[in-house]
Structure 1
Amino acid sequence: MLQLFRNFFKSKLGIAFTLGFLALIAIAFASSDVASSGSFGGVSGGDRVAVVGDTKIGTAEYSMNVTNAFNNMRQQNPTLTMDAFVSQGGADQVFEQMLQRTAVAEYARKYGLRAGQRLVDSEIIQSGSFNGPDGSFDQDMFRAVLQRQGLTEAAVRSDLAAGLLAQQLTRPVGFGATMPRSIAQRYAALQGESRKGTIAIIPSMAFAPKDDPTDKQVQEYYSQNKQNYIRPERRVIRYTTFGPDAVGDVPAPTDAQIKARYERDADQYAASESREFTQLVLPTEAAAKAVLDEVNNGSSLAAAAKSKGLETTSVGPVTQSELAQNASAAVAQAAFAVDRGTIAKPARGGLGWYLLRVDSVKSTPARSLDQVRGEISDTLAAEQQRAALVDLSTKIEDEVDSGRSLAEIAKERDLTLQSTKPLTAEGNVYGTPGEKAPEVLNRALTTAFQMQEGKPQLAEVDPGKTFLIFEAQEITPSAAAPLKDIREQVVAAWRRHEGSVKAKEASQRIMKRLADGKSFREAMAAEKTTLPPADSIDMSRDEIARGGQVPPILALFFSMAEDTTKRLEAPGDNGWFVAQLDTITPGKLDDDDPSIGQVRTQLGQLVGDEYLEQFVKAVEKQIGTERNSAAIKAVKDQLTGANNRLN
């Protein structure tokens, strides 16, 4: 479940990211209205989980980073619980990364590196998490977000500065790392390697108990494997929509309004002319005149351009003002001074000297106020209705902010309330495959799964046309399904598990017979239980690579030594594999094969990762770290609710 998380933190990009931007993760979540875990109780905020050099890492800081990492993972896996995150090592991963980042920052300061205020300012602004409606950084929003999360600006800036110091120090470490060509060639040749052998599956169900388990056995198995039965968080969303009908009849535009709009847009209704051209741009005036002479002597503009290695392009339809903006006023004046079919005299523009042939001319006569009165009236009416709708939405938003309930708002305006079936964060109806949330909620689902229960919000569904008011009416947290609801499923899993234990014993017996010289068929046939026949394997690394994701048993098969036998547990308690490798045929590769260079580049990246990992470990050792195991455990217990379960 956390493999992506682990792999990300192990990569060079992941290390750099974690060393530099744990604080920005927190800020980004805060600015996205992801609810924080609340005040950190049970462990004093002054307690520390570690001391790195001269820097103390407090319990509150550790708790915040774990919570934000957990929230980040839940964006990809909505069924993830804090219990699962902590038990599978997520909190430990965050803790180790905090130690690394702090140690590297301490080391950087020790040797004179600095991260000034302007650099920190730049990182905050570039994060984009605090941009206002105009798209630029909003200082008030920044401070409001920090206040909402219980953070001080000084603490955030200090955290960002530490991350920037770590980046300055770590980026050069793995830069330019390479692997010798001879080693890269050996690895590249492996792609052509082929192997022969045998793979057998010993299925669990062949050994599964036939009798029903006792209630105690079912309960024990369920208790030990609750994480396999986690149901996702479900929410019932109550909502209503409103559009133009909600504002009723809007007064028709007056004659004065229509006249004012006509005068404002006078250029739009004035007489106009647009033209289409064939264009050729040349570097000098002399070159342009030479081409014009060729055309005047019977050549076409396209042919004259081609003889000089150039091509003509089509332009338009454009007005004179548009052409002046795109080329220059001189070009536009020349192009609009000649008749259709004529080439204008050369004129200088932004790209060089322009030759333009007029291909078509379209003249549009002026339109009087009476001619466009209806058009303007319709436009104004639509604008006024949209404005009234926006005013209504603003008023409703103010009511929502003041604490009015969705039911009160809907009743006052005679809006129809609807409630969804329980939904998952992905927008699926829980327990009904293929059924989705109403389309009108698509853009609001992410927010709906971040809101508190009974706290409505307003969203614009179709800009200027349709608005949505919605709330989380009922929230069912992610948790293991009650045993009574899934007893048959648990019993089936118990049978597989018990069968897997017996299948493992059978695989041990089969491997012993193979070691004693029996053939694969003889070793399998000696079992009292009927087993599926083994498969003969004859394939190359290239073949399994082309197949996409490599099954674990084939990955094992291609990592074994020749004339050996190994076993591997199948996923989901489904049985055990036994693999026997008979022969390995090495691949052949020419010295100039391009794949050698590709493999060398990939290996160089891995070497850089190793350099960086070793460097960080050496820094940690030199700076020195002290861990407070009791405080670390207290933070985990607080986050998972273990303290409450014990009380």
Structure 2
Amino acid sequence: MKFFRTFFKSKVGLGITLGFLALIAFAFTTSDVANTSFFGGVAGGDRVAVVGDRRISTSDLTRAANDALQQRRQEEPTASMPAFIERGGLEQVLEQLLSRAAIGEYARRLGLRAGDNLVNSEIRQIGAFRGPDGQFSESVYRQALAAQGLSDATVREDLRTGLLARQLLIPATFGVTTPEALARRYAGLFKERRQGAIAFVPSAALAPAGQPSEDQLAAFYQANRAQFIRPERRVIRYAFFDEGAVAAQVEPTAEAVAAFYRDNSARFGPVERRSLNQLIVPTQQQAEAVARAVAGGQTLQAAAGASGLRTSALTRLTRDELASQTSAAVADAVFATQQGQVSRPARGVLGWHVAQVTAIERTPGRSLEQARPEIVTALREQNRARALETLSQEVDDTLNDGGSLAQVAQTLGVQVQTTPPLTTDGRIYGGAGGEVDARLRPALPTAFQMDESAPQLAEIEAGRTFLIFDVARIEESAAAPLAEVRDDVVAAWRLAQGLAAASRAADAIAAQARGGRDLREAVRLAGVANVQIETIDLTREQLAQTAGQRVPPPLALLFSMAQGTAKKLEAERRLGFYIVDLQRIEAGTVEANDPLLAQARTALAPVAGEEYAQQLVTAMRAAVGTSRNEAAIAAVRRQLAGDN
């Protein structure tokens, strides 16, 4: 049951210890992997931690953090490294690295191993290392590693650690069962009913109307810079060229038209097509007997029926088409026969053929003048494709040799255009009007990986439209200067002041409600205005019927509290505070044959397995010993956040 899988899901899963395997696969399916040379301010040999006998270097941490950020950007394209760090992402990545190293160290102490053949097998299964034939390619593998700045030894070590993790963790989680008493307890919770009320104190209603002082505003901005981080923006210059750039090379000459006519004489010569009824028999003797019967006055259909066979019809076939379906001998025999007559027996792929020609259609050949329009159209398309291919290769060579976008555009006679600052998802930053050219969008992911003034060529419409583009300016992700976001900071300050007032009001209401008073009475006694109150009377089963919808946080809190308590909960986006008052809990009962019992047992087993795995990893870390170098960690944090 989906409700049990989500409501009782563990916060920590196997992904925290096995997730690093995904980092390798991810590195070979995206073009944006950390370039560790960017982090030159932190020595690659410095360690951020030691696990057992293994050191985790600053470069290990920076690469893992960048890989994690790129995965985050698959769901949130504008995610930035400063915001990722602010939300605790770097600490989570470090914890994963420590767990990963501990698993490897512990496995080696136990004598477990993952041999080269097993690692080779894992490498061969990674799709990014396969060549055009779908098989593993050593050259593709080496190129992929070089493109990502990885060594063969690094990849093999990561895969080897992952294989060791499987050996240790899978036995700890395999076949986990849920005790009957535990399953019954959780199944009973599903039928439990809770009654209470939820009040909401909005921040906006308590926010000050006046302006903050300059000192207040500056202090608030410094303390909350992470709220005002702007995503990375890039200004892109670009120009398109298409068949118009090669228009002078498209029109065919008279000599080319004549040569095309000569080389394709069969296409423009006379064409004869024949329709026929045919009979196929196993032996030559049978075929000759059928031919004699037809010559004696029988129809081909009657002769076939006498042998228990049936004829089949073929229509409007040329000699070559008939030969491809039967054989050259059959085609020769049919095309040597007059209309209404029966061909001599001839051997085909399936047996011996006897055919009666039912119709002959002859189309006279076309002269050069008659075929000229068709030939000119075909040659124009060939010339256009060939000229565009040659031109695009020349442009690419020019760019690779250091040519600029402006130089190439001038040579092609096309106009260079410049975008406003764009974010990674293609939006124009700052709410400026207009939209980016739709033809530019496919190149945006590449543009956000390029250096400034390093133009590239991209094919937008296969064989027809090409794009030349470069990055004119890069504006790194960082907190916006106070002067630029003053209005936003003032609004945030007011909201924060209102939130603080709402928090104090919510504390006063909760204190009154904890005395056993009705929530409405508690609000009145606390003297708080503009409070919204909603009465709640729900079972968990009713709550589960919102499957596919997100359970509101106040309701989730109501179903996790003790009876007779009142708790305060901050609303999302700092909009205010909820006061959740739980007055009564009615326990649910589950019969022995209730399907919920089996569903609870099934749903809880994986959760228990994940918990066992996490406990095992924690024990491994304690057994091998782990120490952190906080100074090095802080240096990596500063470097990634751009604070140096």
Normalising by the smaller structure, the TM-score range is 0.7 to 0.9
| Distance in 1 of aligned mates of 2:381 and 2:623 | 71
Map Cα deviations across residues 558-594 of structure 1 (whole Å, 9 max, x no partner): 1112222222122233222112112223345454444
Partner of 2:561: 560
The amino acid that maps onto 1:184 is: A
C-alpha contact 1:9 1:15 (8 A) present in aligned 2: no
SS of corresponding position for 2:503:
helix
SS of corresponding position for 1:199:
strand
The amino acid that maps onto 2:166 is: Q
| Distance in 2 of aligned mates of 1:203 and 1:476 | 37
Partner of 2:577: 576
* TM-score, length basis structure 1: 0.77
The structural deviation recorded for 1:200 is 0.9
C-alpha contact 2:512 2:526 (8 A) present in aligned 1: no
| Distance in 2 of aligned mates of 1:236 and 1:210 | 38
The structural deviation recorded for 1:10 is 3.3
| Distance in 1 of aligned mates of 2:448 and 2:424 | 6
C-alpha contact 2:17 2:99 (8 A) present in aligned 1: no
The structural deviation recorded for 1:557 is 0.9
Q: 1:165 to 1:435 in 2, by over 3 A?
A: farther
| Distance in 2 of aligned mates of 1:551 and 1:595 | 24
Partner of 2:491: 492
The amino acid that maps onto 1:623 is: V
Map Cα deviations across residues 132-180 of structure 1 (whole Å, 9 max, x no partner): 6676655445434544554432233233322233234333331222213
Partner of 2:638: 637
Q: 1:94 to 1:576 in 2, by over 3 A?
A: same
SS of corresponding position for 2:483:
helix
Partner of 2:227: 228
| Distance in 1 of aligned mates of 2:192 and 2:536 | 14
Partner of 2:19: 17
The structural deviation recorded for 1:463 is 0.7
C-alpha contact 2:193 2:588 (8 A) present in aligned 1: yes
Residues 1:531 and 2:530 are matched in the alignment? yes
C-alpha contact 1:206 1:529 (8 A) present in aligned 2: no
Residues 1:479 and 2:482 are matched in the alignment? no
| Distance in 2 of aligned mates of 1:109 and 1:456 | 49
The structural deviation recorded for 1:368 is 5.0
> Residues 101-116 of structure 1 correspond to what in structure 2 (within 5 A)?
101-116=100-115
RMSD value, Cα: 3.9
Task: Name which of structure 1's ranges 69-78 and 210-219 shifts more when overlaid on structure 2.
Answer: 69-78
The amino acid that maps onto 2:217 is: V
Q: 1:393 to 1:513 in 2, by over 3 A?
A: same
Partner of 1:91: 90
Residues 1:257 and 2:255 are matched in the alignment? no
Q: 1:241 to 1:25 in 2, by over 3 A?
A: same
Map Cα deviations across residues 9-68 of structure 1 (whole Å, 9 max, x no partner): 9332453232x3444444555xx1556252543443333223333322222222222222
Q: 1:485 to 1:41 in 2, by over 3 A?
A: closer
| Distance in 2 of aligned mates of 1:323 and 1:187 | 74
Q: 1:239 to 1:608 in 2, by over 3 A?
A: same
SS of corresponding position for 1:248:
helix
Map Cα deviations across residues 427-482 of structure 1 (whole Å, 9 max, x no partner): 12223378532110121111111111211111111111111111122222222232
Partner of 1:501: 500
> Residues 257-296 of structure 1 correspond to what in structure 2 (within 5 A)?
257-261=260-264, 271=273
Partner of 2:615: 614
Partner of 1:427: 426
Q: 1:395 to 1:607 in 2, by over 3 A?
A: same
Residues 1:586 and 2:587 are matched in the alignment? yes
Partner of 2:451: 452
Partner of 1:287: none
Q: 1:171 to 1:591 in 2, by over 3 A?
A: same
* TM-score, length basis structure 2: 0.78
Q: Percent of aligned pairs with the same residue?
A: 41
SS of corresponding position for 1:173:
helix
Q: 1:456 to 1:122 in 2, by over 3 A?
A: farther
C-alpha contact 2:234 2:473 (8 A) present in aligned 1: yes
Q: 1:75 to 1:363 in 2, by over 3 A?
A: farther
The amino acid that maps onto 2:258 is: D
| Distance in 2 of aligned mates of 1:532 and 1:401 | 66
| Distance in 2 of aligned mates of 1:76 and 1:625 | 33
Task: Name which of structure 1's ranges 43-52 and 606-615 shifts more when overlaid on structure 2.
Answer: 43-52
Structure of higher CA gyration radius? 2
C-alpha contact 2:514 2:565 (8 A) present in aligned 1: no
Partner of 2:467: 468
C-alpha contact 1:26 1:64 (8 A) present in aligned 2: no
Partner of 1:551: 552
> Residues 368-407 of structure 1 correspond to what in structure 2 (within 5 A)?
375=374, 377-407=376-406
| Distance in 2 of aligned mates of 1:9 and 1:270 | 76
The structural deviation recorded for 1:606 is 0.6
C-alpha contact 2:49 2:627 (8 A) present in aligned 1: yes
Partner of 1:199: 198
The structural deviation recorded for 1:322 is 11
The structural deviation recorded for 1:89 is 2.1
SS of corresponding position for 1:550:
coil
Partner of 2:4: none
Q: How many residues align?
A: 568
Task: Name which of structure 1's ranges 367-376 and 45-54 shifts more when overlaid on structure 2.
Answer: 367-376
Partner of 2:213: 214
SS of corresponding position for 1:129:
helix
Q: 1:505 to 1:153 in 2, by over 3 A?
A: same
Runs (5+) with no aligned partner, structure 1: 1-6, 276-295, 297-315, 338-348, 350-360
The amino acid that maps onto 2:65 is: V
Map Cα deviations across residues 299-324 of structure 1 (whole Å, 9 max, x no partner): xxxxxxxxxxxxxxxxx999999999
Map Cα deviations across residues 181-209 of structure 1 (whole Å, 9 max, x no partner): 44334323433333221111122233323
| Distance in 2 of aligned mates of 1:637 and 1:183 | 47
C-alpha contact 2:81 2:640 (8 A) present in aligned 1: yes
C-alpha contact 2:405 2:455 (8 A) present in aligned 1: yes
Map Cα deviations across residues 475-507 of structure 1 (whole Å, 9 max, x no partner): 222222322233233222222222222222222
Q: 1:598 to 1:13 in 2, by over 3 A?
A: farther
Q: 1:42 to 1:169 in 2, by over 3 A?
A: same
| Distance in 1 of aligned mates of 2:595 and 2:363 | 68
Task: Name which of structure 1's ranges 624-633 and 395-404 shifts more when overlaid on structure 2.
Answer: 624-633
C-alpha contact 1:448 1:471 (8 A) present in aligned 2: yes
The structural deviation recorded for 1:409 is 0.3
| Distance in 1 of aligned mates of 2:137 and 2:495 | 58
SS of corresponding position for 2:238:
strand
The amino acid that maps onto 2:128 is: S
| Distance in 2 of aligned mates of 1:429 and 1:262 | 57
| Distance in 2 of aligned mates of 1:254 and 1:421 | 48
The structural deviation recorded for 1:614 is 1.5
The amino acid that maps onto 1:213 is: P
| Distance in 2 of aligned mates of 1:242 and 1:322 | 42
> Residues 35-54 of structure 1 correspond to what in structure 2 (within 5 A)?
36-54=35-53
Partner of 2:301: none
